[in-house]
Amino acid sequence: MLDVSPIGILPEVKLIKPSRFGDDRGFFSETWSRRAMREAGLDLDFVQDNQSLSRANGTLRGLHFQSPPFAQAKLVRVVRGAILDVAVDIRHGSPTFGKHVSAVISAELWNQILVPVGFAHGFVTIEPDTEVIYKVTEVYSPEHDKGLRWNDPQLGIDWGVGEDEVILSEKDRKLPALHALDLDFVYSG
């Protein structure tokens, strides 16, 4: 069974909490089920699983997305540690274009976030040695791999980490601001 709820001003982004059954041995959880997702109104065809390990607290990955025809929806969960996860609406014509939502996703909370196509995604670790696993609906395509600058003032995201403390890849340091992006996503209502 899944508990599915929209997050804030972007109802397309969902917070998901799978059931977890525990006893003195530990616990069991069905972390993903096509049937349960469909019953919750979420019919997605995941084609790839990805995993990342971030050693240091304050490691920021994002904001990333892939352009069509390789656009990806993502189902993100944390198996060790915790992250502040962020999704930004990048669909032209959307009433929430450029707006974002965030949620703490952690192994302790046993929650997940579903980031649909048309949203940039990123996260910052809030615990050391954090491991993130995420499913995607399209394979990785380097030619369609794009991103958005994490500290773009137009977005106003509070990551909880300062520019002098954040740990970024060189690729993420060079990402453009929202106004400089050529976006292929259109809001369909």
Is residue 134 part of the annotated active site? The answer reads yes
Please, which residues have CB within 8 angstroms of residue 123's CB and are 6 or more apart in sequence?
60, 61, 62, 76, 83, 84, 85, 86, 105, 132
Is residue 187 part of the annotated active site? The answer reads no
Q: Which position among 64, 92, 121, 187 bears the catalytic label? A: 64
Question: Is the CB of residue 100 less than 8 Å from the CB of residue 157?
Answer: yes
Q: Which position among 92, 100, 121, 134 bears the catalytic label? A: 134
Question: Is the CB of residue 131 less than 8 Å from the CB of residue 40?
Answer: no
CA 3 vs CA 43, 103, 110, 113, 183: distances in Å: 15, 15, 11, 11, 32
Q: Which residues are catalytic?
A: 64, 134
